[in-house]
Structure 1
Amino acid sequence: MTDQKKISLKKEKDKSTKRMLAIIVFLLAFFYISAFWSQDWTIPGSRVSPLVILYRMFIVPFTSVEYLEKFPVRISEILETIAIAYAGGVAASIIAIPIAFLASRNIGGHFNYIGKAILNAIRAIPSIIFAILFVAALGVGPYPGVMAISINSIGMIGKFYAEVIESIDMNTVDAIRASGGNRVQAIWYGVLPQVLPDFASFSIYRFEIDVRASTILGLVGAGGIGVPLMIAQQQRNWEDVGVILIIVIVFVTIIDKLSGKIREKLV
């Protein structure tokens, strides 16, 4: 092929690329404008202004004895929420390990698509759906929340675990197999020592997410502080809503700081 033909082919490719980019930009702009103009931007009226609601939520709880006395009760409920997240996270961290090994390319081999399909299916379903199903089956309480958190967390934790397993140094595993070790011994002595610190780090990070998720799951009756939050919101008791939100913000901040320090020590 002559240089002239190469230059002409390159120009044709550049033109086709520019045309494709122009089409993509046009379609994105068209869909964005269509979605923007199709929305109803009218704001329904309200008898209470947002400033009044914010005042009732974040000022009144600190100035009223009635709501100051509710803080110990709500703290016990947030502790139940944290316990739900902890129990669900521990169960998910353990169950996700074999699924992650199956989903990893270097360990699962030709059957890794089965593990990936399981993890993808779990991640595709929101945790609130699991909570609704378990509340319907088991009744209102913390146990449905633990079940919903544990199953939903398996999908994300298992994905992280599988990616860590795929990035390990396989020379250690191959050396154990070459010296006569079986597959279980190769995983126990060659894989787990390399991945356990990252496994622990990801599990702690997921625990932070599960604490926030447990609060939301309580809105459908899955235990914890979400139940009184739902009742207070329905009754428009903004002072009680504020007490709950203040406690949630404080505890989530504390957990975030502590888990961040622990992850720094592990990784």
Structure 2
Amino acid sequence: MTKPHRTIWQRWNWLLWVVVIGALYYWTINGLKFTGLQESAGAVSRSIVDGLVHPQWSYVYDGSGEDLVSLILQTLAIAFLGTIVSAVISVPFAFWAARGTHERFFLRSGSGKVVLTLIRTFPEIVLAIMFIKAVGPGSYAGVLAVSIHSIGMLGKLFSEAIENMDRGSEEAITSAGGRSGQVFALATVPTIMPEFFSYTLYRFEIAVRSASILGMVGAGGIGTPMIFAIQTRNWPKVGIILLGIVIMVLLIDSLSEQLRKRLI
């Protein structure tokens, strides 16, 4: 069996991609201006490593409410509440942005997708700074930032789940004479809810990481003492905070993975 004839472009188009990618690498690397290392870089690096290797264990818990355990729990509360609020609000946005099987010009779904894209445009840290100006520093601003940004992300994921869902159960109930409300309650909701829960858990994992950073701008959580410790070069305190964040993230990721396996 003879091989199909390939044109010159089909045989050598990979070379064009190599040139384009090489040019992009050259442009990006050439745009970086390396100014060298400061004279104190070695001493500072040794201090950072020493602090990370010998963390401040006394900061783990002291009952003041400003210790590591208390602020880790506050960070988890910010992420959890922000995710729950966004998951509930994202549902109507998802049905708005989901493309229907009988939609001809996609005006409804297209406008919904644009709104969700606009919501996702603002990074969480920018939203946190804006809400701090509106409601003051603290956990409330962090919850608002996480929840608003998560609406854009979960709304997009939920809408894609609705678009790609199996329509077999809907068609079966419709053919049996079921009404639209019965189709929605008995077929649509049971089909999409496992994916909705799975995406919500995945978003909670991301929200935990985000909530750890939002405190650096005053939005509550473990980020606030971490930025203060970095500014004062209290590296043992930075070390124990980073250790706490790593353990928190690993536990949340492991628990979330187990829950997602049970749902799907």
Compute the displacement of 1:218 (Å).
0.8
Structure 1 segments (4+ residues) deviating >4 Å: 17-21, 66-72, 177-182
Q: Which residue of 1 aligns with 2:203?
A: 206
Cα deviation, 1:8-41, whole Å, max 9, x if unaligned, reads xx66xx2344565444432321231132233222
Between the two proteins, the alignment pairs up a number of residues equal to 254
Q: Distance in 1 between matches of 2:60 and 2:164?
A: 51
Cα pair distance change 1:85/1:262, threshold 3 Å: same
Cα pair distance change 1:172/1:204, threshold 3 Å: same
Q: Which residue of 2 aligns with 1:104?
A: 98
Cα pair distance change 1:67/1:214, threshold 3 Å: closer
How does the TM-score come out when normalised to structure 2? Answer: 0.87
Q: Which residue of 2 aligns with 1:231?
A: 228
Q: Distance in 1 between matches of 2:256 and 2:244?
A: 18
Compute the displacement of 1:79 (Å).
0.3
From 22, 26, 36, the equivalent of 2:29 is: 36
Q: Distance in 2 between matches of 1:162 and 1:85?
A: 22
Compute the displacement of 1:70 (Å).
5.6
Taking only the aligned residue pairs, the percentage that are identical comes to 36
Paired residue secondary structure (1:31): helix
Q: Which runs of 5+ in 1 are unaligned?
A: 1-6
Normalized per residue, the structure richer in helix is 1
Q: Which residue of 2 aligns with 1:248?
A: 245
The letter for the 2-side match of 1:43 is: G
Conserved in 2, the CA contact under 8 Å of 1:134 and 1:147? yes
Conserved in 1, the CA contact under 8 Å of 2:83 and 2:200? yes
Answer yes or no: is 1:45 the counterpart of 2:41. no
Compute the displacement of 1:175 (Å).
4.0
Q: Which residue of 1 aligns with 2:133?
A: 136
Q: Distance in 2 between matches of 1:235 and 1:99?
A: 44
Conserved in 2, the CA contact under 8 Å of 1:101 and 1:108? no
The letter for the 1-side match of 2:261 is: E
Conserved in 2, the CA contact under 8 Å of 1:103 and 1:116? yes
Paired residue secondary structure (1:105): coil
Q: Which residue of 1 aligns with 2:89?
A: 95
Q: Which residue of 1 aligns with 2:76?
A: 82
Answer yes or no: is 1:174 the counterpart of 2:168. no
Cα pair distance change 1:44/1:120, threshold 3 Å: same
Conserved in 2, the CA contact under 8 Å of 1:119 and 1:158? yes
Larger CA deviation: 74-83 vs 170-179 = 170-179
Q: Distance in 2 between matches of 1:188 and 1:107?
A: 18
Q: How do 1:109-128 residues align onto structure 2 when only pairs under 5 Å count?
A: 109=103, 110=106, 111-128=108-125
Larger CA deviation: 29-38 vs 130-139 = 29-38
Compute the displacement of 1:74 (Å).
1.1
Q: Which residue of 1 aligns with 2:18?
A: 25
Cα pair distance change 1:76/1:26, threshold 3 Å: same
From 38, 52, 55, the equivalent of 1:57 is: 52
Q: Which has the larger radius of gyration?
A: 1
Q: Which runs of 5+ in 2 are unaligned?
A: none
Larger CA deviation: 35-44 vs 239-248 = 35-44
